[in-house]
Amino acid sequence: MQNYKLSLERDFIIASSGGHSVRSLAKQNLDLLYHSWLTKDPFVVYDLKNIHYCLSISLSNRDGSERIRKRIKSLSIAVSTDLFNWHKVVVSADANLASYNAGVCSSFRYLRVQLTGTQVLHFRSIDLFCTRLSAPPVTNLPVSCSRYGYFNNGIYWVTHDAGFFSICSTVLLELVRFPCPPKYINASHSFLHFKDDKSSNIWPLLFSDPIPVNLEPSFDFLSSKNSNKILHPSDYARIPFSVLNPYLNAYFCPSKDVKSTRSIIQKKYDICLDKTIVIVYRGTDKYIESPVADSRLILDRAKAILKLNPGFRVLVQTDQAQIRSFFCGALGNAAFYLDEMPVTEGEAVIHKTLDRNRLNFSQTLLSVVLIASDCRHVLLTSSNVSNWVVFFRGSDQGIELF
């Protein structure tokens, strides 16, 4: 065996809670490997580029007063081979808190340093003392788990179960940040309100076989700030379409059945996408999560577009019967809705009221969202359905959020 030392550098960082730049630290005469802002549970993640068998880790604290050195007192170090399964290592500090050391004796590629509570995380250096084994450890495609699902042997198993497009958002997030794009997606444990056979894998009936070509994981989405750009986007202009579009094209192309359903609907209602304004208004219980959009503002905007484009029509897509009546009544012959999409007068979400034909509803819902994504003008209220209208559109052009 041959031992060696690996000293981490700034360009090894793939995710963090933010912090001072090299230039900023230089101006303060601070020779530090990392310095966060004052934030809750500050962290930094390093990619070692390859799997290393590490014997021990040594972290050198920032020089300074005892008060400054004590900032690092809640330090924890964790290691991982896949960014999902993290294993904490036992860390011990010397008497002056000048350095922290950890015995590891395991193989890993990623290293995370973190503090607990609202703190400032800073340190001078991290050295890894490694050894080259006589034979490299045998590694299979990693099994990795998160709150939304797990990867195993080239398959992503979805376990998150909620609304249709909430599930889709978590799948997209996991795909974007996982180092090894899966060959298949299995939703046997999910979409329980959207299929008639609770144990069936509905995914192939919704989306075509994946084409994971030239996909590069984005470790930026390990942070909650960036992951919210997928799970809870509040500004569609800030969605990183250049990162997401390859994954959307690879994993979220509609199945043959969904394409057929879409074609039937477009033909039935004679929908000319280039001359259609779509209103996507999420009602029922959505007021619990976000403020209710002013339907009058949306109506005024639709009327303004119609005034400039007399031949246009307005597709009203909502789950709330009262909202549908409001828009259709105010817009008259210019408005239409799809009989295939159910509505309710109460607060119960539609998918929890279905007792049969759930798969048909799921495929129709996906078809309608795809139609909406291609309409000339798109007027949205905040919801996961709206988010996926934007995701399928591939840009924020022609999108207005109310």
**284-300 pLDDT, tens per residue?**
654 444 456 788 999 99
- For residue 265, pLDDT over 70 is answered with yes
The structure tokens 């290293």 sit at 111
| Res. 140 pLDDT band, cuts 50 70 90 | very low
Q: What is the mean pLDDT of residues 349-368?
A: 85
292 or 160: which leads in pLDDT = 160
The structure tokens 């290691």 sit at 79
212 or 50: which leads in pLDDT = 50
Q: What is the pLDDT of residue 304?
A: 94
Q: Helix, strand, or coil here: 131?
A: strand
**Mean per-residue pLDDT over the chain, rounded:** 84
218-232: pLDDT as tens digits: 666 766 667 777 887
Q: What is the mean pLDDT of residues 297-310?
A: 93
Dist CA 108 CA 78 (whole Å) = 10
169-217: pLDDT as tens digits: 999 988 887 777 888 999 988 898 899 888 889 999 999 999 877 787 6
Which residues is 46 bridged to in the sheet?
13, 111
Dist CA 345 CA 323 (whole Å) = 9
- For residue 323, pLDDT over 50 is answered with yes
The structure tokens 């007192």 sit at 73
Q: What is the pLDDT of residue 26?
A: 63
Conformational region of residue 131, where left means phi above 0, alpha means psi within -120 to 50, and beta covers everything else: beta
Dist CA 31 CA 55 (whole Å) = 26
| Res. 267 pLDDT band, cuts 50 70 90 | very high
- For residue 144, pLDDT over 70 is answered with no
Q: What is the mean pLDDT of residues 5-14?
A: 88
CA angle 173, 37, 12 (to 5 degrees): 55
- For residue 29, pLDDT over 70 is answered with no
| Res. 256 pLDDT band, cuts 50 70 90 | very high
Dist CA 297 CA 320 (whole Å) = 17
Which amino acid is located at 92 in the chain? S
